Amino acid sequence: MRSSMNKKSVKVLFLGETFRADAQTWLKGISAYLDCQIETLEIPAAKSKFGRLFNSIRFSYELLEKRRTVFDLVLAERSTSYGFFSLFTKRKVLVVAQQGITDVYPETFLSKLIKGALKRKVYQKADLIHAWGHVMVPAMLKHKAIPSKIMILPKGIDLENFTFSTSGKTQNEEHIAIVTRSFKSYYNHKVIIKSIALLKERGIKIKFIFVGGGELLESSKELAHKLGVSSYIDFLGVVKNEELPLWLSKANIYVSIPQTEGVSASLFEAMASGCFPIVSDLPGTRAFISNGRNGLLVPPDSAESLANALIYYMENTVDFDKALVDNRTFIEKNVSQHKNFKIISQKYISLVNSK
């Protein structure tokens, strides 16, 4: 349902990686509630340094071309990249989103120096700063964001796509765990595979579903073969977004142990589907998971701890039935994409109309 508050179509420029599910959710959300014309611009991925350089140059040229248009609304992912590029646009309203617990990553001296300066500059110019969760706010305030400009609200998920079910799961002879993060080093897939090997050594029967692609997919398959656990894992590769709910419905455990985490839509999707979360013990996950109550928290780099957590849940599944229901209730109340984007879109319109 589109807002009736706007009298004319809103010209929107989105700067970000449109292939990412988070970006697609953002675009889908505003399209549902704004009468808008959306243009997108991003730096295409490339395998070589030359390709990345060429794409960056082409992006810069296309960005300068966009200056011929005054946009009502410019949306930018990450304050330290597309947020910085957004400063070169002509617009009425600038909205920037922090994409993790901090956009200053990796947290090296040089990164903190350069990206920190970029972040402060962008926050000075932004009309609205999205914090998809409370855990993101400290880094924003550290970099001089004005508190009144910060909007704390997750994008949410489309609950119509994720059916809640625990029927038959807790009584399964073979438990099924699912991992839905891409194969990048900071998601620690190899730690998960090592934990599966530990479970095998202890005679524990479990099946894992790995969803996603990435540069470490093949080496992860090789590690699984080396450790003798290939038969314990289904590597699905990249699946269509509309197919993900089906795979979540097959699992009763969700595993995600990244080194860093902001506000994870993947976690929300798993909670909505009735999967029991076993996730990294980080500020971003502690905001939603209380260890031993509605999930289990583990160190992100410990295969032993993950294996022990998996065993603990499998031995006590019935004790967590109510927690799974509570997780779904929490998601319905706080993480509904339809509810949240109605609020977000109304804020956008209010800002545009005030200019």
* Structural domains of the chain ordered from first start: 10-156+336-354 (3.40.50.2000), 160-334 (3.40.50.2000)
Could you tell me the pLDDT band of residue 6, with boundaries at 50, 70 and 90? very low
CA angle 25, 28, 33 (to 5 degrees): 125
Write down the mean pLDDT value for the chain: 92
pLDDT band for 49, please (50, 70, 90 cuts).
confident
The DSSP element (H or E) to which 127 belongs, if any, is none
| Average pLDDT of the segment spanning 32-36 | 92
- Per-residue pLDDT for 109 more than 80? no
Alpha-carbon span 273 to 275, nearest angstrom: 6
Entry pTM: 0.86
Sheet holding 10-15, edge to edge: 36-41, 10-15, 70-77, 90-97, 128-131, 150-152
Residue 194 corresponds to which tokens in the numbers above?
Answer: 């090592």
Identify the pLDDT of residue 170: 52
For the cut 80, the answer to whether the pLDDT of residue 103 exceeds it is no
Question: What is the rounded CA–CA span in Å between residue 294 and residue 289?
Answer: 6
pLDDT at residue 165 in the model: 82
Q: Which residues pair with 73 in a beta bridge?
A: 12, 93
The total of other beta-carbon atoms located within 10 Å of residue 154's CB is 21
* pLDDT category of residue 151 using cuts at 50, 70 and 90: very high
For residues 160-188, average pLDDT: 83
pLDDT of residue 2: 52
Percent of all residues in the chain with a pLDDT value above 70, rounded to a whole number: 95
**53 Cα distance to chain centroid:** 27
Residue 292: band (very low, low, confident or very high) from pLDDT cuts 50, 70, 90: very high
Cβ 62 vs Cβ 82: under 8 Å:
no
Question: Would you call 262 helix, strand, or coil by DSSP?
Answer: coil
* DSSP code of residue 275: P
The answer to whether residue 278 scores a pLDDT higher than 90 is yes
